[in-house]
Structures are given as structure tokens and as C-alpha cells.
Amino acid sequence: MLELKDVCFAIQKDGEPLNLIDEVSLKVPRGHFMAIVGPSGCGKTTLLKTIAGLNEESGGDLIWDGRNLAQEKDFDPAEIGYVPQFSIAYDQLTVDESIESATRLRVKIKNFKELDNRIDRILEETGLAPLADRPVQVLSGGQKRRLGLAMELVTSPHLLLCDEVTSGLDPRSERDIVSLLHQLSRTDGRTVISVTHSLAHLELYDSILVLHEGRVAYHGPPEGLTHYFSVDDMEEVYPQLAKQRSEKWQQSWLKHRDAYYKKLNNRRDDLIKKGELSVPAEVTAKGNESEQTNTESALLEDPDASQQIMREAAELVRTPSVVSQFSTLLSRRWKIFFRDKGQVFLQLAILVCFPVLVALFSERGNENVKKFSGIDEGTIHRIEEGIEVNQSYLSVGSAVSGIVMFQVVLLSLMGSNNSAREVAGERMIYEKEKFGGIRPSAYLGSKVVFLGSLILIQSLWMAIFVQQFWKFPDGSESGFLDHTVFLVLVNGAMTFICLGISSLMKTAEQSSLLSIYLVGFQLPLSGAVLALPETIEPLSRPFISAYWAWSGSIDSMNPTYRNAIDAVTETSFQPATSCQYLLIIHIAVGLIASYIGLKRHHWD
């Protein structure tokens, strides 16, 4: 049984608390189908989120099966299902794959047979069996609503909360969804609460909760709605509500509540007697049908009774391990990636074009640095030779420094493209899955492995491809290997820093914009082109990944080329080992920011 006792939810406005939900009290027994209706802005969705625990109540008590959710154990993820207004499925997956993914992430499955049986049962229960192989992106609005319900039913929740699941549907689809919710409330003692703006099909609900300015104006059987508000038609309820303040309606309801609750009790008794409503086995075991009916009726009147008899109708499913969730998330991410033709094409285009751009400048970088011949043929010859050597130093040093920085900046751009939208672009789906029991560590782990694969492919290909046109200026293989390591590290640093930004930002647009700015400042603030003022350089340098990758690669070259590069830039080089440590710190900071962002609540 679900019971609300003077529940409030307040926000701060102009420094003062404003109650969006104000002293809401009601009781909803198991196996009950309730609608929450009211004008726009009356607090319907806010109340639903407060029940779900997405909004923390600022006052009152929220009790489920006899336990106070604020003081005792909160909802188990398997105990509750929440169907939001937005789609919670990926367009690239099929209906069957979406339900399979939800099942693997939320239910510990013993074997493939159990998995298939659970999926088949849910497909049949929601009427999606004929659409099992159809991609989500081609589904109609009503079919997507059914899929959202199906993905919540994988845990067989005892409390199902639905937020505007009929919004925007045609009349037939709307009735189909309401009828489906009605059927779901008639099995396993499941309580279903649905927020709706529509006043159509109210006869299918067991009770109607009418909210006005965050307060209860009515909670009773559908047939009592027009009588209570003294109107002839359901559509006249909202205009009637506007005729007086919510305080008046709340006071009126408190006077008439017992009479309407008695009607609810009688209606529930009739459904149980007719066998149209199933109740938990614990209740059935209490005695004969008469005793059972009396017990069920008492649930609306005696809160202590619910604590003794309304327990779990069935054992809750167990949540899979972190490793199992990680494996499912990683497999799903690769599947989505390869089915997104636009993303695959973009990655291939970047992978081909960026190294080619660097190779175009390789000719100047392959020139040898001229040295003094040591032959004394007179002062004029020494002056001319000195000019040629200096010009060689400037030309080769500028070319080599530019090629290295070009590689570094392009890989930084790749890193930004890899992850700027990785979390923010699917934020709402992730928040919904986290509500359903997905662990942030499993989610982050899957992103790290997926992005790490892209980092290695991009960086190694950049290094190997460019090496065919421009030999890294070092006599041994170690210099090229060190350079390759720095390319991997700078790509990793920018990828995971942008992943952290994506995790902390609320929208994909914010994340993309900030990531672009971050990459844009890498070149000018690195000092590789123009030396920064001495007052700014020590402050900015620790945060510029491009500088450390460029400096580390330059330090890995032989002294001749380091001297040539030193001749064209005033920026000093740092030891390669120090550069590696700094880039590793950047990666660690990005991962820490990612985890903090994933742990934070970003539902809205």
C-alpha cells in the first residue's frame, strides 16, 4: 500500500520557500489504478517525481508497505517502475534489443532460456510481439509508449508510475495505452499511477486524484467527479477549479473525503468478489473471501493493517553485478556506434583526412639541418655559411615544430569529437537507467573502454601514417615510440576531459560548445607559436594538454633538431617524463570529473 501523509515539496523563490506540493494526503492500495489530473502547472509531474524519490519531500511522510521511505529503506530499484514523458530507448536498437538490454541491466538472469522467456512474456503482455524486430526510430508515438512500459516491466515492479504516457497520441492510441495500464494493475497486486492532462477514458481508472495549485481537490471514484464539482461533463472540471483558490478546494475535500473513500472501498470489494482484481498471496492466506475483502477495505482506513499484511507479492528480482552491467553497456554502445552510419562516416573521414593534412607539410620537415663545414675560406664565406645555417635552423625548426603541434592539435580535436556529447547526448536515458539500478561505475567503465579503443586507433594511425611521409627526427626507434605515446596521451587527455565536461553539463549543446572552446585555446595558450607573457605562462601552462604533448615530443628528438626548434620559439621544453606525468594527471582529472558528473542528479 502507498500512503502519503501531508507530503510537501518546496523550492526557493526570492529567498522564500514555495510549496509546489502542499500537504497532499492519500492512500492507494495494492492492485489499484489511479489517475492524477489537473490543469497545467498544478503539480502532477512534481507529485509523481516526489513519490518516485526523484524529488525529496520537504515535509510529511511517504509510506510504502508500512515502511517510511524517508526514515527506513527506500524503494528497491526492482520494486518501482517509472515511465517518463521522454523516450527511454535508443533509436538504433530494435524493440526486442531494447527490452533485452533493459532486462540484462536490471535483472540477474540465470540462463538464456530465462532471458528469452521474460522478454517473450513482456512482448506479449504489452502487445509488442509483432513489432519485436522493428527499429525504435520507426515506431509511432503509441508504440514508443508501449515500449517504455515494456522496459519498465522487466523487473515486474509492484509500483508503476507513468508520466503523461498518453500525451500527443490520437484518441484510439490513447485508449489503448490506458487500457493496457488498466490490465497491468489487475495482475500481481501491482499499483499503477498515471499522470494525464486528458479527461478522456477516466472510467477505466479505479480512482481519480485532482490537483489544484499543488493541493488535493478530489480523490475518489471516476463516477463521483461530476457530482463533487457540480458539473454536467468531465470537461467542465478544470474551469470549475479555477473559480476558487486551492485552499478552499482542499478544505472542501477534507470534509467529504470519508464518504468518497467509502465508495472506493465498496468498489474494490466488488472487484475482488467478482475475481476481476488479484491481490497478493499474503492477503489471500489470511482467511476466506469475506475476511479477505474486509482486510482489503481496511487498508484504506487502517494504516497499521498495511504494515502487517501488505508485503511483497513475489520475491524481488536481483540486480546484476557491476561486471555484468558493464559488459551489457559496452556491447550496446558498440552496437549503437556501428548502426549510426553518420557517426561511422564522420569517424572514418576524420581518421583519413587529418593524417593526410599533416602529411602535406612533411616535405619541409624532412630537410636536414645544415651545419658549419669547418673549412676556413675567409670571412665572407664564414658569414655566408652562417646565414645558410641559421636559415636552415629556422626553416627546419619551424617545420618540425609545426608538424608535431599540428598532430597534437588535430588529435585534441578528435578527442573532443569523441566525447563532447557522449554523456550529455544521452543524459535523460542514463538518468532513467540510473534510477532503475545502473551503477555509475559500470556506465563510466563502458565509456572508458569504448573511448579508449577510439583513442588508440586514432593516435596509432596518426603516428604510423605520418611516419611514412615524415621520419621522426631521431636516430633510434625510441624517439618515435615516445612521440607515439604522447599522441596517445594528448588524445586521451582531451577525450576524458571532454567526457568530464559532458558528464557535468546538462545539455549536449552546452557540452559541445565548452569542448570546442577548450580545443580552440590549446594552440594559442601552448606557447608553441608565440611565447606567452611571463606572468600568464606559469598559470595557464599546467592546464594545456597540447603544450605537454608538444614539449614531450620535442624533448624526445636528437639535440640538433631540439636546437633548431629552440631557435624559432621562446617557449622552453620540459623533460619528456614530466610531460607524461602531467598528461596522465589530465586524464585522471577528466575521469574524476566524469564520475562526479555521473553521480550527480541531472534528471531535469
Q: Which class for 131: exposed (0-12), middle (13-18), buried (19 or more C-beta within 10 A)?
A: buried
Indicate whether 476 and 537 sit together in one domain: yes
The Cα–Cα gap between 63 and 74 comes to 10
**CATH code, 258:** 3.40.50.300
Please determine, for residue 521, whether its predicted confidence score (pLDDT) is greater than 60.
Answer: yes
16 and 95 part of one domain = no
Amino acid type, 589 = V
- Range with lowest mean pLDDT among 77-91, 224-238, 285-299, 552-566: 285-299
Report helix, strand or coil for 587: helix
What letter would DSSP give residue 369? P
Is 196 within 8 Å of 37 (Cβ atoms)?
Answer: yes
> Helix 341-359 vs helix 379-419: angle between axes, to the nearest 10 degrees?
170
Check residues 198 and 160 and name the one with the higher pLDDT: 160
Q: How confident is the model at residue 367 (pLDDT cuts 50, 70, 90)?
A: low
pLDDT in tens, 138-154: 999 889 999 999 999 99
Whether 31 is covered by a domain: the verdict is yes
Whole-number percent of the chain with pLDDT over 90: 60
Instruction: Give the largest Cα separation in the chain, rounded.
Output: 123
* Structural domain range at position 127: 89-156
Helices (H), 141-245: 141-152, 171-184, 225-229, 237-241
Count CA atoms within 13 Å of residue 585 on its CB side.
12
Position 186 scores a pLDDT of 86
DSSP track, 330-353: HHHHHHHHHH-HHHHHHHHHHHHH
Grouping H, G, I as helix, E, B as strand and the rest as coil, residue 537 is helix
Please check whether residues 164 and 145 belong to one and the same domain: no
Question: Is residue 257 a part of any domain in this protein?
Answer: yes
CA 194, CA 214: separation in Å to the nearest integer?
16
* 302 within some domain: no
Residue 287, phi then psi, degrees to nearest 5: 160, -155
Evaluate whether 42 touches 27 at the Cβ level (below 8 Å): no
SS3 126: coil
Please, are residues 181 and 8 in contact by the beta-carbon 8 Å criterion? no
Same domain assignment for residues 357 and 484? yes
Residue 135: helix, strand or coil by DSSP? strand
Query: Strand, coil or helix: what is 25?
Result: strand
Taking the CA atoms of residue 5, residue 433, residue 317 and residue 304 in that order, the dihedral angle to the nearest 10 degrees is: 0
Given a cut of 80, whether residue 289 has pLDDT beyond it is: no
Work out the angle between the directed axes of helices 440-467 and 576-599 (0-180°, nearest 10): 150
Does the residue 97 lie in any domain? yes
Element (H, E) at 525: helix 522-526
Question: Residue 568 in contact with residue 401, Cβ under 8 Å?
Answer: yes
Residue 271 pLDDT > 90, yes or no? no
Banded model confidence at residue 298, pLDDT cuts 50, 70, 90:
very low
Positive or negative CA dihedral for 242, 244, 245, 246?
A: negative
Q: Return the minimum-mean-pLDDT range out of 83-92, 371-380, 491-500, 545-554.
A: 371-380
pLDDT over threshold 90, residue 374:
no
- Any idea what DSSP says for residue 533? P
Helices vs strands, H then E, count in the chain? 24, 10
Average the pLDDT over 90-106 and give the result: 96
Higher confidence at residue 307 or residue 354?
A: 354
CB within 8 A of 57, min separation 6: which ones?
A: 7, 8, 9, 21, 50, 70
Q: Is the CB of residue 476 less than 8 Å from the CB of residue 372? A: no
Residues 36, 24 share a domain = yes
β-strand partners of 208:
35, 220
**Residue at a domain's end among 234, 264, 294:** 264
The more confident residue out of 303 and 12 is 12
* Runs of H (alpha helix) within 43-152: 44-52, 95-106, 112-125, 141-152
Residue 248 lies in a domain: yes
Q: Do the domain assignments include residue 594?
A: yes
Task: Write out the E strands in 1-100.
Answer: 2-13, 16-28, 33-37, 59-64, 67-68, 80-83
- Letter for the amino acid at 255? K
> What local confidence, expressed as pLDDT, does residue 383 receive?
56
Q: Report which residue type is found at 261.
A: Y
**64 and 94 share one domain:** no
Q: Please count the residues of the chain.
A: 604
Report helix angle 289-298 to 246-273, nearest 10.
170
Beta-strand pair 2-13/59-64: antiparallel
Per the DSSP assignment, residues forming a β-bridge with 35 are: 194, 208
pLDDT, mean of residues 114-118: 93
312-326 per-position pLDDT tens digit: 345 688 999 999 999
Q: Are residues 424 and 361 in the same domain?
A: yes
> What pLDDT does 476 receive?
57
> Is residue 225 domain-shared with residue 335, that is, in the same domain?
no
Q: Which of 113-127, 374-388, 551-565 has the lowest mean pLDDT?
A: 374-388
Based on the fold, state whether residues 416 and 551 are members of the same structural domain. Answer: yes
Measure CA of the first residue to CA of the last residue in the chain; give whole Å: 28
- 10 Å CB burial of residue 44 (0-12, 13-18, 19+) is buried
All three cell numbers of 287: 482467511
Q: Does residue 411 belong to any structural domain of this protein?
A: yes
pLDDT of 8: 94
Same-domain check for residues 399 and 521: yes
Specify the range with the lowest mean pLDDT, choosing from 80-89, 101-110, 161-170, 296-305. Answer: 296-305
Choice between 71 and 423, residue whose per-residue pLDDT is larger:
423
pLDDT in tens, 238-261: 999 999 999 999 999 999 999 999
Number of domains present in the structure of the chain: 3
Look at 285 and 252; give whichever has higher pLDDT.
252
- Average model confidence (pLDDT) for the chain? 86
Q: Which residue has the higher pLDDT, 370 or 14?
A: 14
Q: Which residues contact 307 (CB under 8 A, 6 or more apart)?
A: 65, 66, 67
576-603 pLDDT, tens digit per residue, is: 999 999 999 999 999 999 999 999 988 7
Assess contact for 136 and 98: CB atoms under 8 A: yes
Stretch among 221-235, 285-299, 345-359 having the lowest mean pLDDT: 285-299
**What pLDDT shows up at residue 302?**
47
Residue 389: pLDDT band (50, 70, 90) is: low
Give the pTM: 0.87
Residues 382 and 465 in one domain: yes
> Would 560 be classed as within a structural domain?
yes
At residue 532, the pLDDT reads 75
Closest CA to 242 of 79, 38, 422, 416: 38
Are 64 and 125 in the same domain? no
Mean pLDDT of 81-88: 89
Task: Look at 330-344, 352-366, 411-425, 488-502 and tell me which has the smallest mean pLDDT.
Answer: 352-366
Confidence of residue 277 (pLDDT cuts 50, 70, 90): confident
DSSP 36: E
pLDDT at 310 over 50: no
Q: And the C-alpha cell for 35? A: 489517475
Identify which has the larger pLDDT, 203 or 476.
Answer: 203
Query: Could you tell me what percent of the chain has a pLDDT over 70?
Result: 87
CB-CB contact of 545 with 490 (8 Å): yes
Q: Which of 214, 205, 206, 139 is nearest to 173 (CA)?
A: 139
